[in-house]
Chains A and B, each alone.
Chain A
């Protein structure tokens, strides 16, 4: 049934669409560059202990 297929299409996107967008947003939020520090020169605070 084409109508069923078309409706499945819509369900796919109602389900998959938000999933993709949420996955993307969560993935972005865990970037170390977005929160902490990186190893790139000049970006890393160094905790020194005394010799």
Chain B
């Protein structure tokens, strides 16, 4: 966290995660190249460089598809959170594999010639606009697909380069998130890079099916997760008066939270810790993770995404960490928890509301 920046704050989980990525990538490329070499005998085999180019492109797209699926899956079910935890390492791996593909393709197809290779990527096929009298189908078929890949690679580079928490902090989570939203654009560019590149030479349905199928899954997952959240927000939207009853005490398990949506307000996370109730912003200062879906561990609200922690009574991370989140005034009336929707400045101490257990509840005696 903010305490001190290290290249990566390693823990067992991150090591396992990265080992799985590395093994997966190496096996994928090896399987592709070796089987590809064995498939057509002797003189009929594809060139090894061609096979590596195809293996790295297929691998990078597979990785990116997984990266893009994790977000909506985790929003649909928190059980996918462990995949989200170290997703940026998956993203950096995607960039590295794509970089090998792009670098090798530039060297192989654009090198050794009378034009500088990097210039050639943009200029050797210059059919950007239809020639006079050219049918649009013929123009699109011949469209230079390499620059689409280059732009996608630039986006992946920017994301990989700024993936460290140092940049998250210095660019502000908002700018950082917006920058990293560009991955959607990169994904679109990559789909078109393949469609207007390799698929133009291909006659089988296999590659078109793989790419089209995965793209459809990604799009549907994001739309479903987004729409579902929108509906939830609409239903839970509580009118904004001065004090709002947001939950019943009996609905809140100890050490658990509840996300409260107030119309035109940020979401609020209400937590019960023992006989106390506190309310803080639902937005984690690290990467905007949903704190209300977290738990209280060691007396601190713990974010379900990366485990960032805040004291419920003042929204401050325990020393030596320095993150703060806004807090809300809270009180208990009978069995109702009431929250004042006006957010207090991050780190403001608020006295937790006390629950006075009444004797004679069902089950007690």
Please say whether the chains A and B touch (CB closer than 8 A). Answer: yes
Q: Are B215 and A24 in contact (CB under 8 A)?
A: yes
- Residue among B137, B191, B202, B208 making CB contact with A23, cutoff 8 Å: B191
- Residue among B191, B266, B288 making CB contact with A20, cutoff 8 Å: B191
What mask results when residues 1 to 25 of chain A are scored 1 for a CB within 8 Å of chain B, else 0? Answer: 1110111111011101111110111
Interface centre among A1, A21, A38 (most CB of B within 10 A): A21
Knowing A24-B211, A28-B199, A31-B141, the reply to whether A17 touches B266 (Cβ < 8 A) is: no
- Residue among B188, B216, B229 making CB contact with A6, cutoff 8 Å: B229
Knowing A13-B219, A33-B203, the reply to whether A5 touches B229 (Cβ < 8 A) is: no
Chain B nearest Cβ from A22, distance in angstroms: 11
Taking CB atoms, residues of chain A closer than 8 Å to B178 are: 5
Interface centre among A2, A5, A35 (most CB of B within 10 A): A2
Q: Are A17 and B219 in contact (CB under 8 A)?
A: yes
Q: Are A10 and B223 in contact (CB under 8 A)?
A: yes
- Residue among B202, B211, B212, B266 making CB contact with A3, cutoff 8 Å: B266
Q: Roughly how many angstroms separate A30 CA and B296 CA in the complex, as a whole number?
A: 57
Identity of the chain A residue whose Cβ is nearest the Cβ of B233 in the assembled complex: A3
Q: Roughly how many angstroms separate A1 CA and B236 CA in the complex, as a whole number?
A: 18
* Cβ-based interface call for B305 (8 A): no
Q: Which range contains the number of A residues in contact with the other chain?
A: 20 to 34
* Cβ-based interface call for A41 (8 A): no
Q: Roughly how many angstroms separate A14 CA and B203 CA in the complex, as a whole number?
A: 31
* Cβ-based interface call for A27 (8 A): yes
* Cβ-based interface call for B192 (8 A): yes
Knowing A2-B266, A23-B191, A31-B200, the reply to whether A13 touches B226 (Cβ < 8 A) is: yes
- Residue among B181, B203, B227 making CB contact with A12, cutoff 8 Å: B181
* Cβ-based interface call for B162 (8 A): no
Q: Are B233 and A30 in contact (CB under 8 A)?
A: no
Q: Are A26 and B219 in contact (CB under 8 A)?
A: no
Q: Are A20 and B187 in contact (CB under 8 A)?
A: yes
Chain B nearest Cβ from A1, distance in angstroms: 7
Chain A nearest Cβ from B267, distance in angstroms: 7
Q: Roughly how many angstroms separate A12 CA and B186 CA in the complex, as a whole number?
A: 13
* Cβ-based interface call for B11 (8 A): no
Chain A nearest Cβ from B227, distance in angstroms: 7
What mask results when residues 180 to 209 of chain B are scored 1 for a CB within 8 Å of chain A, else 0? Answer: 010011011001100110011111000010
Chain B nearest Cβ from A14, distance in angstroms: 6
Q: Roughly how many angstroms separate A29 CA and B200 CA in the complex, as a whole number?
A: 9
Chain B nearest Cβ from A11, distance in angstroms: 9
What mask results when residues 273 to 305 of chain B are scored 1 for a CB within 8 Å of chain A, else 0? Answer: 000000000110000100000000000000000
What mask results when residues 211 to 227 of chain B are scored 1 for a CB within 8 Å of chain A, else 0? Answer: 11001100110110011
* Cβ-based interface call for B88 (8 A): no
Q: Are A2 and B192 in contact (CB under 8 A)?
A: no
* Cβ-based interface call for A32 (8 A): yes
Chain B nearest Cβ from A18, distance in angstroms: 8
Q: Are B192 and A27 in contact (CB under 8 A)?
A: yes
| B residues apposed to A, CB below 8 Å | 137-138, 140-141, 174, 177-178, 181, 184-185, 187-188, 191-192, 195-196, 199-203, 208, 211-212, 215-216, 219-220, 222-223, 226-227, 229-230, 233, 266-267, 282-283, 288
19 CB contacts below 8 A, A to B, read A3-B266, A9-B181, A9-B222, A9-B226, A12-B181, A13-B219, A13-B226, A16-B184, A17-B222, A17-B223, A20-B188, A21-B219, A24-B192, A28-B195, A28-B199, A30-B140, A33-B200, A33-B203, A38-B203
